[in-house]
Amino acid sequence: MALNQQSGRVFDAVVVGAGFSGLYMLHRLREAGYSVRVYEAADDVGGTWYWNRYPGARCDIESIYYNYTFSKEILNEWTWSSRYAEQPEILSYINFVADKLDLRRDIQFKTRITAARYNEENRNWEIRMDDGTSVVTEYFITALGCLSSSNIPKIKGLDSFKGEMYHTGRWPHKKVDFSSKRVGVIGTGSSGIQAIPVIAKEAGHLTVFQRTPQYSCPAQNHPLEEEDIRKTWENYDETKQLMRYSQHGVPYGPRMRSALEDSPEERERLYEKAWQEGGLFTLTYNYNDIAMLPESNETAASFIRSKIKQIVHDPEVAQKLMPTYYYATKRPIIDTNYFETYNRENVSLVDIKAAPIMEITPDGIKTTDNEYELDVLVFATGFDAMTGPLFKIDIRGKNDVSLKDKWADGSELKTYLGLATSGFPNMFMLTGPQSPSVLSNMMVSIEQHVDWVADCIDYLREHHLEAFEATEKAEAFWSQQCHAIADMSLLTKTDSWYMGANIDGKPRGFLAFAGGVGLYRIICDDIAARGYEGFTSVLAHDSTDDSKVKEGFFMSNIDPQAWFILKQLESAGAPPMELLTPELARMGDFSLLAGAPEEVAKVENRTIPVPEGEIPVRIYTPAGEGPFPALVYYHGGGWVIGNLDTVDVPCRMLANRAGCVVVSVDYRLAPEHKFPTAAEDSYAAAKWVAENAASIQVDPERIAVGGDSAGGNLAAVVALMAREQGGPSFAYQMLIYPVTNHAYDTDSYRDNAEGYFLTKNTMVWFWNHYLRNEEDGQNPYASPLLAEDLSGLPPALVITAGFDPLRDEGEAYAERLKAAGVPVEVTRYDGMIHGFFWMPGVLAEAHNAINQAANALKQAFSAVKTI
């Protein structure tokens, strides 16, 4: 679908930037037969590595993983010299690739694009350069880099300084001589921490102006042998896959263990080992919740602070270097002798948060309490990240709306996949805002983005489609998910450049996708496989197709948030539960989906007697004076998995919202304890609550039973048992997508047998572990739907999910209750999946369902005369 070229001024695609992403984009499209032109402001290729030539500049991803992987030949022909390559070597690598693939012939250097405007009538982009020339292109692709717009803070007197002045992101090509000079460095982010030890070795005196102290771990850099590289890539395909489906784009990940599970001594041993080994993720990967839980985070943070105290001799300087924010919520930093540098006699540290810079004078820097004479001033103040590079071009989409105006409010920054944004057809952003980009090994993210865009353009050409554009609905969903995932972690709890906090006046908002490169790849691939859901496109003017517009049907009928959760679970790569032993299945951790637990006035763990033993319960008591109504709650998990922690968050929410005591019951699990043990334990627990009501501040006349999934089954069974065995009398039963029948012959089983969290095969596995034999499945205490008589049971709430194999049997039970004269409220959450009730951390509908259940409980309790 190439445009007709006229004198070389019309192209299929224009790419802005000749860094890693721009070069690979050029290669992919050119190999596919498209006419492509790359425009680069610099004199040569390199992007970030062309401009960032400051002393000590080096990669913080291990060199052997900081490669293109699309070509095994290129991989085999290059050898890195050290674990973390320095800037000159990385730039040499980029030049090697450009030469190898003969890329320069399609790159125009020393040319800056100043404006790009979409022509709605012609469905193409008009691109203008700083030399006054212009070109037309069908596809406009930005490969600007996330960290390419240098930030020099607006300090009074900046232009008055008489000495030399540099920014780490725009360093001269010739060596800067610091010998015997008084040097000031402003900024202690990654570039500052790399540059400071190198400058200190040369300078007559170095003064570091620090606003925020940083956590930094040693790189432990060392030379690489060619054999090391060869061994790394012996299993090329496997290593490549591990990188592509990992969290951060490296072929390893965090240990699946909480920092709070180990003793202080064991944590100290592991952290010390990681410190000696060095590396960007080595320390954080000891545990999987350092970025999630403040308590776990503090174990790592305090360890690093203890190291600073050990390394820095002057206690006052060491104290100034102590960071207090959550570790790893700013870009993690690795260094070579950074903290050791403050032991040098020619290095001073100034805390400009305590004594802010007032102005830059002709002779140096003036703070609120001192003046510092300087010959050289180095700004290591970072970048206007992610959006800044895009805003340097006047990009205008449909209706002449500028990208900068669309994103004027950072909290409303919206993209779809970080690749596209509505109102800007045929524009692709490589590693753009709301993609994994800066949270990952950029090489992995770059290759994934370029491959996706190239495949998409192929698809558009094959189907004669033009004006390819993200929908507003799709980008609203994606942006919401980006914020939700970031908010599940500690990332949004710290002012950082991830949040735009380093730029005065820039609205705060997390700018990347924090779900990991593996999950992101799965989502992008799934969207492409569905015909690019979330995008619209128009048939080409010359197409013979009768239809006018092709639109993706975004996420089908499933709730977008629920769909997103399914993709997260898919990306985890865990085998189907039915292939696991019960012991292994119980190790699964879904706590992040539940979100942060609410405070409840009182939470008590205790054990209660049941036939042949004791079981744990957890009692949640709301604020106020009792006696309170009570809900006896049974967790789900197919009678095989689950525990009190599984439903901790919804139980807390129900206690607070319904104003009732919630007694969560940890009944004995199958297959160690087969049917009817779980039912008998559950009934015994309900009787215990009624018999001991006064001691736990409960009104015995206002007790309800409830549960989700297998727990919903148990709640229904307990209501039957109480009716048939003489009590207690229950005010209500709350059944959340309950199991009610040992059968798999419903429409919901056929429609949702696989792909929606709970599968038919998993339910078969659960039943097989729970029942002693097939006859047990016909017992009403296992399958309450088969009970002959449901009259006289307490009023009920039945909640089901649209994409759930259990949907129809739950609703069938509700119909049977109604037919027996039992008051029933039934609600189907159409777009939801099984398990959504205990996922309020990520699903808005979970909050709605919990609130509905709480209100139903309150109404049921209020209908009962209180004691």
pLDDT tens, residue by residue, 669-689: 999 999 999 999 999 999 999
Strands, DSSP E only, in 103-231?
107-108, 113-119, 124-129, 134-142, 164-167, 182-186, 205-210, 217-218
At residue 717, the pLDDT reads 98
At residue 551, the pLDDT reads 58
At residue 4, the pLDDT reads 37
Rounded CA-CA distance 680/683 in Å is 5
Question: For residue 411, is pLDDT > 80?
Answer: no
Which range has the worst mean pLDDT, 97-101, 120-124, 578-582, 722-726?
A: 578-582
Rounded CA-CA distance 708/710 in Å is 6
Which range has the worst mean pLDDT, 16-25, 383-392, 752-761, 801-810?
A: 383-392
Rounded CA-CA distance 756/745 in Å is 17
Question: For residue 787, is pLDDT > 80?
Answer: yes
Rounded CA-CA distance 161/366 in Å is 12
At residue 101, the pLDDT reads 98
At residue 7, the pLDDT reads 38
% pLDDT > 90, the chain: 74
pLDDT tens, residue by residue, 544-573: 554 455 555 455 678 877 887 887 777 766
Rounded CA-CA distance 565/758 in Å is 13
Contact 522, 474 (CB under 8 A): no
Between 501 and 493, where is the model more confident?
A: 493
Q: What is 736-752 written as a DSSP string? A: ES----S---SHHHHHT
Question: For residue 2, is pLDDT > 60?
Answer: no
Strand 36-39 with 10-16, pairing: parallel
Question: For residue 249, is pLDDT > 70?
Answer: yes
Question: For residue 383, is pLDDT > 60?
Answer: no
The confidence band for 576, taking pLDDT boundaries of 50, 70 and 90, is confident
From first CA to last CA, the distance across the chain in angstroms is: 79
Which range has the worst mean pLDDT, 114-123, 514-523, 541-550, 728-737?
A: 541-550
If you average pLDDT over residues 393-411, what whole number do you get?
86
pLDDT tens, residue by residue, 792-802: 999 999 999 99
At residue 865, the pLDDT reads 66
% pLDDT > 70, the chain: 93
Which range has the worst mean pLDDT, 452-456, 495-499, 594-598, 705-709?
A: 495-499
609: β partners: 614
Rounded CA-CA distance 721/705 in Å is 12
If you average pLDDT over residues 519-539, what whole number do you get?
91
Question: For residue 305, is pLDDT > 80?
Answer: yes
Name the token pair of 662: 């919630």
The confidence band for 228, taking pLDDT boundaries of 50, 70 and 90, is confident
At residue 160, the pLDDT reads 94
At residue 206, the pLDDT reads 98
Contact 850, 650 (CB under 8 A): yes
At residue 94, the pLDDT reads 98
HSE-up of 63 (CA within 13 Å, CB side)?
A: 27
Rounded CA-CA distance 387/207 in Å is 32
Rounded CA-CA distance 152/171 in Å is 13
At residue 258, the pLDDT reads 85
At residue 498, the pLDDT reads 55
* Residues in CB range of 224: below 8 A, 6 or more apart: 63, 64, 79, 80, 81, 82, 83
208: β partners: 185, 349
At residue 500, the pLDDT reads 55
At residue 1, the pLDDT reads 36
Rounded CA-CA distance 168/148 in Å is 11
Contact 460, 537 (CB under 8 A): yes
Q: Which amino acid is at 481?
A: Q
Instruction: Give alpha helix (H) positions in 428-539.
Output: 442-462, 472-488, 517-529
The confidence band for 423, taking pLDDT boundaries of 50, 70 and 90, is very high
pLDDT tens, residue by residue, 16-55: 999 999 999 999 999 999 999 999 999 999 999 999 999 9
If you average pLDDT over residues 404-408, what whole number do you get?
87
Closest CA to 577 of 736, 769, 737: 769
Question: For residue 348, is pLDDT > 60?
Answer: yes
Q: What is the pTM of this model?
A: 0.82
10 Å Cβ neighbour count for 489?
Answer: 21
Closest CA to 66 of 323, 430, 447: 447
Rounded CA-CA distance 806/745 in Å is 11
Mean pLDDT value across the chain: 91
At residue 553, the pLDDT reads 44
Question: For residue 806, is pLDDT > 50?
Answer: yes
pLDDT tens, residue by residue, 129-141: 999 999 999 999 9
pLDDT tens, residue by residue, 175-184: 999 999 999 9
If you average pLDDT over residues 211-239, what whole number do you get?
91
At residue 150, the pLDDT reads 58
Between 124 and 384, where is the model more confident?
A: 124
If you average pLDDT over residues 737-756, what whole number do you get?
95
833: β partners: 803
What separation in angstroms does the CA of 748 have from each of 63, 109, 117, 576?
51, 60, 49, 20
